[in-house]
Structure 1
Amino acid sequence: MAAAVGLEDAFGASVFGGAMPEGHPTPHPVLFRAHARSAAALRVVATDCHSLAWDCSLSVADLEDLRDDVGIGGSWSDFLDYLKSSLSSGAVKLLFAADQLQNSPGADGAKIVATKAKGLPRITIALSRVTGAAVSDVVAEFSLALYASYRTMQEHASRDQQRISQLMGSLSSERENNEIMQKQLEALSFLDRRKATKPKLVADQIPTVCGVTVVSDQVIAPVQQQTPVASPSKPPPVKATKRVAPISRRLCKGQGHVELCCKIMRMMRLTEIRDFWR
């Protein structure tokens, strides 16, 4: 299963980090790099980028042995993911043997110890010291790889920033559109409420029949439905109406009554006087 999957594809990009040297008198910090050198080999390099360097090359068989020593179950990809996570945890140490430190300040061998989290199995990789002119080659290769990784991360960050700017622009445009739509909805809602209340106000302003005061100049017409309609085939009988005498005639008649009363009263008065003298 391990041979069927190439390390270049399975391990992915290089892993860089700092290795804290314990008990080593070097004045420079130590950095390390783990990368797939080929489809069947994984290389680990540690250097202070000055005069010291250590490295090792692990074949697929070596990685299988490391997997058994660590005790990580699961698939081959799961083990490589755990290895990368342990080297990227930030808790990587570079250990040296005490007797080697006494004989040489550079030490002939070292070990990189890494763990993914506290309490989990540790990854231990043995390194050999690089000597002579090969140190410069290791440092140069390490520096170029570190710069290439930096450029790649910078490009990714630039693309992410552009993507964020586009998303922020889209978000701002959506907010403006939402505000415009909200204002339009509020205007429509106001018009709907106004139309709904306008008939009610007009109905309230119309006076009812009970509230109308009939004055002397006002005439209430009878309801048309209650007025009897005469049948055209049977005309109503004509009643004889009582004629009213004209006003001049009525005045003359009243004046004659007054004169008659006055004559009667004079005659009665004369009769009383005549009787008195008798």
Structure 2
Amino acid sequence: MKVMSSKNHITRLLFCSVSFFDTRSIAEACLDTEKIIIKSLFLSVSNYSQKYKMEGFQEFEPIFNEPRIEWAKNSNPGSGLMDQFFMHVFAPDGNHLKIRVTDYHSNTFETIKSAMQLDDMRDCIGIGGSWNEFVEYLVASLKAEEVKLVLEKLSNSDDVAYAKLVAQKSKGMPIISISLTKLLDDAARDCMANISFGLFKAFKCMKNLVVQEKEHSLQLTKIISAEKERSENIQRQLGKRQKLEKMNSSDKLDVSGPPASNGAQNSPDKLAGRDPASTKVTNRVVPAFRRAKVRGALLQDIEDDKDN
């Protein structure tokens, strides 16, 4: 344990205390030294407890996995042994991690590890980095498909006496090995029931998350539909406005244009293009007093004229 580093410091304090209290009695020097040792140990334990309280398993999500079965050397699978095990890893509190493995038949195993024990295991394995990085590596290893449950039988018996969990994030990475304790009778039945209940809780939590995501997706769909309809309305209004502006601009151009001259309207080209029937001159009626003069002279005998 890392508290060992403080023991050397305590030993030095002991010798310093003895040399410092040469003029005092041995009993008083030992009493003062004992107080210093107790205070140093208390501070060391308090610091470690505070560390793991702050960096424990506060937000640890339960892990469910199916480990691969592997038999130890000189152990062969016997008759009646199940070849499928179910693993459940969870944090009962912020400072402990519990691992349960069962075949729901006759073999159920369990272990509980504190944060301090796992930190010591980290030092033995040789995993560096921060505590959070180690927890992330541990979680990734326990979730990997290559998690193994190593079983070992009793001699001259088919009962499994020993089991350990071997986890590794990937090949070439540090190996995590955790020994498990076999449970019997009521303890085994309680463990299996707790695993089933934990699986149900995880399923219920996952179901609630799916329902929440569906509701969120439905809300987003409604928002998108409303925005699409709003955009279409804006486009229609914009099109009407642009059309009205074009009509107004064309009307202004017609009003402001120069008027056509009469000469241009009466040009030969335009007159030739008109309807021939419309160019015919209508016969006018001659007044009666002018009609007699126009028709001819008055007829008289020549002889009568001579007589006159």
TM-score under structure 2 length normalisation = 0.60
Does residue 176 (structure 1) correspond to residue 229 (structure 2)? The answer is: yes
Structure 1 counterpart of 2:249, one-letter code: A
Structure 2 counterpart of 1:82, one-letter code: Y
Distance in 2 between residues matched to 1:101 and 1:69, nearest whole Å: 29
Correspondences of 1:103-118 after superposition (within 5 Å): 103-118=156-171
Structure 2 counterpart of 1:58, one-letter code: K
Distance in 1 between residues matched to 2:230 and 2:157, nearest whole Å: 72
Correspondences of 1:1-278 after superposition (within 5 Å): 3-4=49-50, 5-6=52-53, 9-23=57-71, 24=77, 26-97=81-152, 100=153, 103-202=156-255, 206-207=258-259, 212=264
Distance in 2 between residues matched to 1:187 and 1:67, nearest whole Å: 73
The Cα of 1:30 is off from its aligned counterpart by: 0.9
Larger-Rg structure: 1
List runs of 5+ in structure 2 lacking aligned partners: 1-46, 72-76, 268-308
Structure 2 counterpart of 1:17, one-letter code: N
Q: Is the 8 A contact 1:55 1:129 kept in 2?
A: yes
The Cα of 1:103 is off from its aligned counterpart by: 4.5
The Cα of 1:182 is off from its aligned counterpart by: 1.6
Q: Is the 8 A contact 2:98 2:113 kept in 1?
A: yes
Distance in 2 between residues matched to 1:116 and 1:196, nearest whole Å: 74
Count of residue pairs brought into register by the alignment:
212
Q: Give the 3 Å change call, closer, same or farther, for CA 168–67 of structure 1 in structure 2.
A: same
Distance in 2 between residues matched to 1:211 and 1:44, nearest whole Å: 110
The Cα of 1:142 is off from its aligned counterpart by: 0.9
Structure 1 window deviating more from structure 2 (174-183 vs 61-70): it is 61-70
Distance in 2 between residues matched to 1:105 and 1:192, nearest whole Å: 94
List runs of 5+ in structure 1 lacking aligned partners: 216-278
The Cα of 1:75 is off from its aligned counterpart by: 1.8
Distance in 1 between residues matched to 2:245 and 2:175, nearest whole Å: 72
Q: Give the 3 Å change call, closer, same or farther, for CA 191–117 of structure 1 in structure 2.
A: farther
Distance in 1 between residues matched to 2:232 and 2:170, nearest whole Å: 49
Q: Secondary structure at the match of 1:134?
A: helix
After superposition, give the CA deviation of every residue in 1:144-203 in whole Å (9 maximum; x if it has no partner): 111111111111211121111111111111111111112112222222233334433555
More helix by share: 2
The Cα of 1:2 is off from its aligned counterpart by: 5.8
Q: Which residue in 1 is equivalent to 2:302?
A: none
Distance in 1 between residues matched to 2:150 and 2:208, nearest whole Å: 35
Distance in 2 between residues matched to 1:197 and 1:2, nearest whole Å: 87
Q: Give the 3 Å change call, closer, same or farther, for CA 192–64 of structure 1 in structure 2.
A: same
Q: Taking CA–CA contacts closer than 8 Å with sequence separation of 6 or more, which of the two structures ends up with the larger relative contact order?
A: 1
TM-score under structure 1 length normalisation = 0.66
Q: Secondary structure at the match of 2:244?
A: helix
User: Percent of aligned positions with the same letter in both sequences?
Assistant: 28
Distance in 2 between residues matched to 1:211 and 1:134, nearest whole Å: 120
Q: Give the 3 Å change call, closer, same or farther, for CA 40–202 of structure 1 in structure 2.
A: same
Q: Is the 8 A contact 1:11 1:35 kept in 2?
A: no
RMSD, aligned α-carbons: 2.8
